Amino acid sequence: MMVRYRHAIAVSIILLIPLLGGAVDATTTFLETHYYLFPLGPAACGPDAVAQVARVQSYSMILYDNGSVEAFRGDSPVDAPADLLDDRHLLIVDRDRFLLRSAGDGFTFTVRPAESGYELVIDTERALPIQAVLDSVLVSLTSFGLLGDELNLDMQAYAKDNLKGPQPPSGVPIESTLYGLKVSRDWHDYAARVGLTLVALRVEVVAELEPGASLDTRFAAWIIESGAGLEKLALPIEQLVVLARSAGVSYIRAPYRPSVP
């Protein structure tokens, strides 16, 4: 189940501590039974600037660029990038996009690509005051130079124990597991559990096309295989719903996997 609350507040880069005083009136506590999504809009800086700060702060880093990948834990190279995916402080750069994860006292937060810029995910281990958590998170994001002058909070709360997962919006022709990936609290953990294939911050999908239709050219860069009314893509995760809603697409699903007799 998803619960939504709306709040709009101006962010002062200098005065972050009093930022949220009185702003959240629908609830005052992050619950350990839920995780929370907030839109951040466009990031105020790019992956290179974020990576520079991450190095100084000894983050683990996985850097993808045109088919090559490098991984580091602090200053030490790591041969297997997947070994870093559970680290508490992690930066993943996928060309011009990034995912930044960090941990505080009793919570984890993640900044990751969204349809319109970036979004913030907050996942708490116990019930915690919203204001205290967001104050801490926003100070951290400011140290990376990620925040602009205004932040509109449109908080969406998702239950962690929802076995069916959140369902796709009405009229969006997408497999439920793929939509579940898009809104999951941890993309890589979710993909591993449901059997989706991720490459960096992209997921392998198949777009089934309507008869005689062709895929919108804005998705051409992500195509890895074509044929018989199907397009296989390594698609940025935040573009899943955008692809499903695009002209000529009848359905988006995960690639079929051969079954073992």
The pLDDT of residue 46 is above 70: yes
Q: pLDDT band for position 1 (50/70/90)?
A: very low
Share of the chain above pLDDT 70, in %: 86
pLDDT reported for residue 147: 84
pLDDT reported for residue 27: 67
| Nearest in space to 155 (alpha carbons), one of 24, 33, 43 | 24
Q: What is the pTM of this model?
A: 0.88
- Cβ atoms of 158 and 76 within 8 Å: the answer is no
Q: Is 41 left (phi over 0), alpha (psi -120 to 50) or beta?
A: left
| Nearest in space to 123 (alpha carbons), one of 111, 113, 140, 135 | 111
Task: List strand residue ranges (DSSP E) for 58-104, in order.
Answer: 60-65, 68-73, 76-77, 90-94, 97-104
Rounded to 10 degrees, what is the CA torsion of 160, 180, 51, 84?
70
Which of 72-76, 120-124, 191-195, 257-261 bottoms out in mean pLDDT, i.e. has the lowest? 257-261
Give tens-digit pLDDT for 193-227.
999 999 999 999 999 999 999 999 999 999 999 98
Give tens-digit pLDDT for 153-195.
678 999 998 877 788 999 999 999 999 999 999 999 999 999 9
Q: Which two tokens stand for residue 162?
A: 């929802």
Which of 6-15, 20-29, 87-96, 174-183 bottoms out in mean pLDDT, i.e. has the lowest? 6-15
Residue 123: in which H helix or E strand, if any?
A: strand 117-124
